[in-house]
Structure 1
Amino acid sequence: MITRRQFISHSCMATSALMLPNALFAEETKSAYKMGLQLFTIRDAMAKDPFATIKQVAALGYEDTETYGFDPKTVSYYGLKAKDFLGLLSDHGLTTTSGHYDLFRYFNAPEAELMAYVDQCIIGAGILKQPYITWPWLDPNNRSIEQFKQLAPKLNRIGERIKKAGLGFAYHNHNFEFIDHGGINGYEIIMKETDPDLVKLQIDLYWVMRASKLSPAALFSMQPGRFVMWHIKDMDKVTQDYTELGNGSIDYTKILPDKDLAGMEYYYLEQGGNFKKSSMESIAESAAFFKKNLAKYFR
């Protein structure tokens, strides 16, 4: 005969046993990474109404963001003071782990002017709690091989200053880094002549697949652990333009498993243009495809 106390005890144990597999399953399926979005993708929507846009971004399942656009005079983003923009993100459960800052505009500026801008970026990124400040671009008139050789020590100096402030610094590629200049290209110079401890690499996989003779895996193997951030976007099968994830020719199931070799810490879905209907509908489609087909590689 079982007592009332024994019955309750056994019932609780049975309930716990039934719940345990579900708890373990939830733990196993929880991603170690946040699904990020480069906000450049929805620059039109952010310019129109950052409040409604950020709310929708969160509703689509994005958890992290990369900013684009920074006003150094007012230390603001999208028309909002840095602390207010951070508050907007926080209100919707979002973080920001990197920003694309207009460092390239100071390529030919005096050193003091460049470093003054770097210091403003450090202030802004610090307020937003961004681990990384990213150099995103080079103007067309600054892409000769000699200018890449000038760029490398400049990146080292910027990286040193940012590291002293407790933040990380990275360089983002496009296609022009892979143009051959008599047996060498700009990306090779950046990889060889910058200090990996000061200058990390944010790899844009779309541009690597479109313009580089080397695969992402080959690049990762050359400098394991340096490719700390990834831009994930797809390439139209006909035009090679941007397209929504899943509609293009890039098979990410063959790239994502190399994240550990690369040293990836953060990733951001991005689509620079060529939207089916609108930027917001495109990020919804890409998010849905990613969660269904690719998120499993980040668990």
Structure 2
Amino acid sequence: MDVLSDAIAAMRLGRPHSALRDKYAPWGFRFGAVDGAGFHVILRGTAWLLPGETCEDRAPVALGPGDVVFLAHGRGHVLVGELGAEIEDFGPLADGSWPAAPPRRTTGPAPDAVTLCGAYRFDRSRAHPLLADLPDVVHLPARVGAHPALRAVVELLGAELDSPQPGSDTITAALLDTMLLYILRAWWLRERPGDGMHPTSWSAALRDPGVAHALQAMHERPEHPWTVAELGAESGSSRAAFARRFAATVGMPPLTYLTWWRMTKAGKLLREDDLPLRVVAEQAGYATEFAFAKAFKREFGIAPGTYRRSA
């Protein structure tokens, strides 16, 4: 089980949304906060991203052709063609869907900019620390030779949205999931000129062979009664050395993370499956329903049955 893929899968809700839009000057849109994450790709032209919903919250970010920007925590922001342009509010409709992109013009002047935008829905109540570690704005500037896999996915997604064919719905959803993982991989493995890799704490965790191996073991077998000594042995180091390294990179002790992950997986099972509570308890590593229910209520504040009914 890939830890990054597993973390995303545990948080994801519903289907992602995306749209290809032509922009004609002057243009500007205000995106309100969403329960998830959003992205913008500048396929043609230039733009400015203003983090926050009031244009004065933070310094604007200049975006050029090929730039990718990921709003990891779904906070409001503004995207404009030129600073000072009039801004139009843009967001989901009352039923939760997004406004359809207008038909692309086949005659007349070329658009000043072409953007590929979209959003993912996440369960913020169980935000994986791997994503919580991200800044509000992840900016991946276009550079020659940088992130070739991400560029390839962007090109495929743009082509699919520009000219839908049979099977486009499934292809688009798969490409959006793939693009999300490539964005995250590109950020965590990014390079800074002059000092090489500049890892975040989770990047350091995923790059540390011992910590990464222990994380993978917990994700593959959350039901196993792991001990710190056993996880240390899995990682090839002593109990004390492993515990220090794990806490320093992941941000919490090994067994604290294990409990959090077990409860996150259990919550997803309760939301999406009709498995008996006994089976959910076993898959979460608890010998009895009572022990599981007690741990679940301590983590979520409600009993598993109540959580399932509310979900």
The alignment's TM-score, normalised by the length of structure 1, stands at 0.26
The alignment's TM-score, normalised by the length of structure 2, stands at 0.25
Structure holding more helix per residue = 1
